[in-house]
Chains A and B, each alone.
Chain A
Amino acid sequence: MPAASLPRWIDTGVIPVLNIALALIVSGLIIAAIGEDPFAAMAVMVKGALGYQEGIGYTLYYATNFTFAGLAVAIAFHAGLFNIGGEGQAYIGGLGVGLVMLALDSALPMVLLLPLGLLASAIFGAAWAAVPAYLQACRGSHIVITTIMFNFIAAALMVYLMVNVLIQPGQMSPQSREFDVSGHLPFVHEALAWIGVSFARSPLNVSIVWAAVCCLGLGAYIWRTRWGYELRTVGHNERAAVYAGVNPRRVIVITMCISGGLAGFVGMNEVMGVHHRLLLDFTAGYGFTGIAVSLMGRNHPIGVVLASLLFGVLYQGGAELAFEVPGITRELVVTIQGLVILFSGALAYMTAPWVARIYYAVKPRPEPAVSAA
C-alpha cells in the first residue's frame, strides 16, 4: 500500500477528506446535470439541517441511528468481518423492543422498561447476527452472503408477524397498538423541559445519550481490553491469532453479537423512541447507511460520530431540499451515500499515489533505515 509510507496525518486526515470531497464534487455534478444549482442546493441543505432548532433535532436524531449502525459495521471490520446485515439486525432488534413493550408496558414503570427495552433490542439484534457468525466461524459460510440473506429473511418475518400476528385488531394498516406512555423513551425536548430549557419538538430522544456511551465503550473495548486485542489480532491475521493462543471462532461470534446488538439499538431508537409502536420498514435503510458511515469514519468511534453527523446533515438537509426544490428528491441523498461508499471505501487509496507524489515533491524522501527490509 503506497499510503503506508505516508505520515499518519496524511493517511488519516488528508486522504479521507479528499475522498469525501471527490464524492461531493460528483454529487454536485449530478445536481448540475439535472439543471439545479449545486451551491444553492448545498446552502438549502446546511440551513435546513443546522439553521433552526427543529432541524438540528432531526439532524441529531438521524445521526443517532447512523452512530449505532456505523459502530456495528466498524467493530465487525476490526475483526476482518463485513457485517452487511445491520438492516436486518436493526429490524429484529426493534421487534425485540416492541414485544417487550407490548407485553409489559401497562405493568411496569418507565425506569424498569428502559433497561428492559435496551436489553431486548441488544439481545434480539445479537441473536440475528449470531447465526451468520456461527456459520462463518464453524461451517465456513461466507458472512457477507449469509447476512444479506438474513436481511431478506428478517423482512419476510416482519411482514408475516405484522400482518398476521401483531396487527392491532380492527385496523387496516399493519401496525401494532401504541405503547403506554411508560414505554416511550423521553424525547430530548421533554427532557430539556424538565430542567426548564425549551427546545423545538423533534424525534430526537434520549437514545442519543446511549449512542455516546456506546462510542466510548466500544473505543475502550477495541483498544483497551484483551478481548479487543484478540479481536484486532484476528482481523489482522487469523492464523497468527491462533498461534498467539486466540480462538478465532469465539472472537468471530462475540464480535458479531456485539455488532448485531449495536445495530439492534437502531430499532430501539425507532420503535421505543419515535414511533411508540411496531410497524413495517422502520429501519428505512439506516443499516446500509452504517456501511458508508463506518468507511467514512475509518472504523474509528470518533470518525463514526463525525461521519454520522455529516450524514445526519445530509438526510435532514436532503429532506428540506426535496421540500424546497421540486426537481430534487430525497433519493439524491441515497446517491450521495453510494458515492461516499465508492470513494471512501472501494477507491479509498486511489488518490494515495498522487498525494504521495505531491508530498514528496515538497518534502524530500527520508533515507531508509539500514534495517528496513
Chain B
Amino acid sequence: MEDAFVFTVLTANATVRVATPLILCAMAGLFSERAGIIDIGLEGKMLGAAFISASVAAVTGSVWLALGAGIALAICLALLHGFACITHNGNHVVSGVAINIMVSGLTVVLGIAWFQRGGQTPSVGPDARFMPITLPFADVLRDVPLLGTLYSGFLSGHNLLVYIAFSAVFATWWVVYRTRFGLRLRAVGENPQAVDTAGISVAWLRYRAVLIGGLLTGIAGTYLAIAQNAGFVQNMSAGQGYIALAAMIFGKWRPVPALGACLMFGLLDAVAIRLQGVVVPGIGEIPVQLIQALPYILTVVLLAGFIGKAVAPKAIGVPYVKEA
C-alpha cells in the first residue's frame, strides 16, 4: 500500500515536470486564439526563449537575467507574429510556421557562432538554474503518513516556474472570465465588428493578447533550458509546442480543461517510459510509440467530433479589415 502510494507520488511528480511547459504554452495559445489569432508559433517562441535564457544564464550566471531575456525574445517573436497577422493581415498559419522554422535554424546558427559546441550552450551549475524549492515544514512533516508524504513529496520540492505555471492557469481563468479585458478579448475572437463598433481598438486588443502569449511562452522556454535541464540542446522543445496546442484544443479553448489535457498528456509521457516492455494481460505489449502518439490521435478524434465538439472562436484566423 505504502509502496503504491510512493509510486503514485513519483509518477505525479514526473507528470508535473513534463506538463509545466505544456501548461504555460497552452495558456499562451489560449490568450492568442481567444482573441482570434491562430498561434502555431508556440513551438518556435518556446525554443527561442530556451536558447536565449540558456545563453544568458551561461554567460552571466543570473537566473533572473536569463528569465528576462527568454521572455523578451519570446515577446519579440510574438510582436513579429502580430505585425504579420494584425498589421499586415497575413496568413496566421504561414506566419507561425515561418517563426518555427526560422527559430529552429537560427538557434543552432547562433549557438555555434557564440559557443562553438555544435549548437549546444555550456551547461550551467545550480546557481544559474531554477532549483527545487522546499516549502516550509516539508522536512518536518515528511514522516507523517499520507498527508505528510503528499505535502513534502508532491506539493513541495518543485522549482519556482512550476508554481508559476499552475498559478498562470488560475490567473488566465480570472482574466478571461472575470475582467473587462477578458470579456473584450473573448468578444474580439468571436465578433471583431461588434468590438470595433463599441469603439474599442481590435488591433490593440489582439496585440495585447499575443504579448501575453509571448510572456508565457518565454517562461516555458526558460523552464526547458534552465529548470528542467541545465542548458540548451538543438531542437530541445521537440514538438511540445504542438502538444500544447493540441492540449488547448482538447480543453476546448478553456483554461481549466486545458490544464487537465496538459496533465493527461504529461501523464502519458511519464508512463510511456515506465510501460516499455510491460505486457498487459489480454492485450500484449503496448508499443511505446503508440502511447507517445496518443496525444495527437486523441486530438484528431476530438476534432472529428467523436468525443464532444471542439468549437474554435468564430473569428479565428480571419484578418479584421475595417470598412472604409
Contact = CB atoms under 8 A, between A and B. Distances in A.
Interface of A: 30, 34-35, 82, 84, 131-132, 135, 139-142, 144-146, 148-150, 152-153, 156-157, 159-160, 163-164, 288, 291-292, 295, 327-329, 331-339, 341-342, 345-350
Contacts of A327: 112-113
Interface of B: 38, 40, 80, 83-85, 88-91, 93-95, 97-106, 108-110, 112-113, 119, 239, 242, 245-246, 249, 287, 289-290, 292-293, 296-297, 299-300, 303-305, 312
Nearest to A138: B304
B97 A291 contact: yes
23 contacts: A30-B106, A30-B109, A34-B109, A34-B110, A82-B93, A131-B300, A139-B303, A139-B304, A141-B303, A146-B303, A150-B296, A159-B289, A288-B97, A291-B97, A329-B119, A334-B102, A334-B108, A335-B102, A337-B102, A345-B90, A346-B84, A347-B88, A350-B88
B94 A346 contact: yes
Contacts of B102: 334-335, 337-339, 341-342
Contacts of A159: 289
Given A292-B101, A346-B91, 10 more contacts: A145-B303, A328-B109, A331-B104, A334-B108, A338-B100, A341-B94, A342-B98, A347-B83, A347-B84, A348-B90
Contacts of B110: 34
B105 A337 contact: yes
A152 B106 contact: no
Task: With a 10 A CB-CB cut-off, give which of A145, A148, A332, A339 has the most chain B CB atoms.
Answer: A145
A220 to B, nearest CB: 27
Contacts of B38: 144
A22 to B, nearest CB: 13
Nearest to B288: A160
A122 to B, nearest CB: 23
A361 to B, nearest CB: 22
A338 B296 CA distance: 25
Contacts of B242: 148, 152
The SS class assigned to the B binding surface is helix
A347 B87 CA distance: 10
A335 B109 contact: yes
Nearest to B291: A156
A288 B40 CA distance: 14
A145 B299 contact: yes
A69 to B, nearest CB: 13
B141 to A, nearest CB: 42
A45 to B, nearest CB: 15
A336 B104 CA distance: 11
Contacts of A153: 293, 296-297, 300
A149 B296 contact: yes
A156 B109 contact: no
Nearest to A154: B293
Contacts of A291: 94, 97
B108 A149 contact: no
Contact of B249 (A145, A160, A332, A342): A145
Contact of A338 (B84, B90, B103, B300): B103
B293 A152 contact: yes
B97 A135 contact: no
B303 A345 contact: no
Contacts of B91: 82, 345-346
A152 B297 CA distance: 9
